[in-house]
Amino acid sequence: MTLSDAVRSAVGAVTDPELRRPLSELDMVRDVSVEGATAHVAIALTIVGCPAADRIERDVRAAAASVEGISEVALRIGVMTPAERKALTERLRGGRAGRQMPFGPDSLTRVILVSSGKGGVGKSTVTANLAVALAAQGLAVGLVDADVHGFSIPGLLGIPAGTQPTRVDDLMLPPVAHEVKTISIGMFLEDPEAAVAWRGPMLHRTVQQFLTDVFFGDLDVLLIDMPPGTGDIAISIGQLLPTPRCSSSRRRSRRHPMSRSAAARSPARPGSA
Average pLDDT value over all residues in the chain: 83
Q: Are 16 and 23 contacting, i.e. CB atoms less than 8 angstroms apart?
A: yes
Please choose, from the candidates 74, 14, 84, 16, the residue with its C-alpha nearest in 3D space to the C-alpha of residue 50: 16
CATH number at residue 234: 3.40.50.300
What is the residue range of 36's domain?
3-80
Give yes or no: residues 124 and 248 share one domain.
yes
Query: Is there a domain that residue 87 lies in?
Result: no
- Taking the whole predicted model, whether its pTM rises above 0.75 is answered as no
User: Total domain count for the chain?
Assistant: 2
Q: In terms of domains, do 122 and 186 share one?
A: yes
pLDDT at 108 over 60: yes
Q: What's 23's domain CATH number?
A: 3.30.300.130
Assess if residue 136 is contained within a domain.
yes
Q: How many residues does the chain have?
A: 273
User: What is each CA distance from 257 to 66, 108, 138, 157, 211, in whole angstroms?
Assistant: 36, 13, 9, 21, 22
Q: How confident is the model at residue 103 (pLDDT cuts 50, 70, 90)?
A: confident
User: Within this chain, do residues 119 and 235 fall inside the same structural domain, yes or no?
Assistant: yes
In tens, the pLDDT along 38-53 reads 999 999 998 888 888 8
Model pLDDT, residue 273: 36
Check whether residue 158 and residue 69 sit in a common domain: no
Same domain, 35 and 117: no
How far, CA to CA in Å, does 154 sit from each of 139, 230, 232?
20, 23, 22
Cα maximum dimension of the chain: 68
* 133 phi and psi angles, rounded to 5 deg: -65, -40
Q: Do 210 and 126 have their domain in common? A: yes
Same domain? 120 vs 46: no
**In the predicted model, is pLDDT for residue 248 greater than 80?**
no
122 and 255 in a single domain? The answer is yes
Residue 42: strand pairing partners:
76
Could you report the per-residue pLDDT of 200-224, keeping only the tens digit for each?
678 888 888 899 889 898 899 999 9
